[in-house]
Amino acid sequence: MSTHLKHDEDFDLYALGALEGEEKSALESHVASCSDCARKLAEARGRISLLAFSAPPVEPSPGVKERLMRQLHATAEGRSQGRASVEAERATRFFGPQSTRRWSLVFAPAAAILAFAAIFLWTENARLQSELVTLRAAADQQKSQANQAREILHVAQATDTVVVALKKMPGSPDGDAKVSYNAKMGKLVYDGWIEPAPADKCYQLWLVPMQGDPINAGVFTPSKGKTEMWMATVPQGMPAKMFAVTLEPAGGMPHPTGPKIFVGGVS
Supply the DSSP string of 163-227, one letter for each residue. Answer: EEEEEEPTTPPSEEEEEEEETTTTEEEEEEEEPPPPTTEEEEEEEEESSSS-EEEEEE-PPTT--
- pTM flag (> 0.85): no
- Domain range for 15 is 9-54
Residue scoring higher pLDDT (260 or 112): 260
How confident is the model at residue 64, as a pLDDT? 47
How confident is the model at residue 10, as a pLDDT? 77
User: Is residue 33 a part of any domain in this protein?
Assistant: yes
Cβ-based neighbour number of residue 177 at 10 Å: 24
User: Is residue 212 a part of any domain in this protein?
Assistant: yes
User: Is residue 175 a part of any domain in this protein?
Assistant: yes
How confident is the model at residue 180, as a pLDDT? 96
User: Is residue 142 a part of any domain in this protein?
Assistant: no
Residue type, 81: Q
User: Is residue 91 a part of any domain in this protein?
Assistant: no
Q: What percent of the chain has pLDDT over 70?
A: 72
Find the helix or strand (DSSP H, E) in which 260 lies: strand 260-265
Taking residues 1-15, what's their average pLDDT? 69
User: Is residue 139 a part of any domain in this protein?
Assistant: no
Residue type, 72: L
Question: pLDDT for 133-163, tens place per residue?
Answer: 888 888 888 888 788 788 888 998 999 999 9
- CA atoms lying within 13 Å on the CB side of residue 249: 4
Whose CA is closest to 158, among 265, 263, 244, 231? Answer: 231
User: Is residue 217 a part of any domain in this protein?
Assistant: yes
How confident is the model at residue 124, as a pLDDT? 74
Structural domains in the chain (count): 2
Provide the CATH number for the domain around residue 193: 2.60.40
User: Is residue 185 a part of any domain in this protein?
Assistant: yes
Question: pLDDT for 90-136, tens place per residue?
Answer: 545 544 555 455 445 445 556 666 776 777 777 777 788 888 888 88
